[in-house]
Amino acid sequence: VAVLLLGGVLGWQAYDGHRQRQAAAAAALYAAYLQPPAGHSAEALATRLRTEYPRSSYATFAAFGEAKRAVEADKLDAAEQHLRWVVDNAAEPADRTLGRVRLARLLLDQGKPQAAQSVLDGETATGSSALAELRGDIARAQGQAPQARLAYQEALAGLPAESGTAALIRLKLDAVGQP
């Protein structure tokens, strides 16, 4: 029993040490991604993060950063690939949800409401005003005013009445009209 216990403790310590070294290496690589050293590109460092440490939050952060850069450079296909990577690989459920919302928004902005809807299908995050608003925007783009109205009302329910976002959603609600 003592040998098994000692083996278990030593095994756990080795595993924990490995995890800590992996986390430190991912953090260092992410720091380099944020301020690439001479001769290195942020894109290459982000690719290394996704390849070498795919389950780390740093890889997810880098993928979000690369998606943002791609949108700013009007490379929407690349942005879509980065966001799909987040949806498929992020370790944290909240990051996957955020990736779905951003991907659906990107697709909707490209005039692909059906594709945007399919990204959100099965997304169960409740209480998210941003998600409800996006569902309303998709329904509106598909000409489904009653569904858009319900989604916008759900979005409003989760926001303080005096917020700027609530005012914007009220404008969208007015645009779909009354039943």
How far is the C-alpha of 168 from the C-alpha of 179, rounded, in Å? 20
How far is the C-alpha of 86 from the C-alpha of 97, rounded, in Å? 9
DSSP designation for 158: T
Average pLDDT of each block of 10 consecutive residues along the chain (179 residues)?
A: 88 85 91 92 94 93 97 96 96 92 96 94 74 94 95 91 92 87
- Cβ(169)–Cβ(152) under 8 Å? yes
How far is the C-alpha of 141 from the C-alpha of 129, rounded, in Å? 18
Q: What confidence score (pLDDT) does residue 1 get?
A: 85
Instruction: Please calculate the CA angle 139-141-145 and round it to the nearest 5 degrees.
Output: 50
How far is the C-alpha of 92 from the C-alpha of 110, rounded, in Å? 27
Q: What confidence score (pLDDT) does residue 16 get?
A: 82
Q: What confidence score (pLDDT) does residue 89 get?
A: 94
Q: How many CB atoms lie within 10 A of CB 27?
A: 14
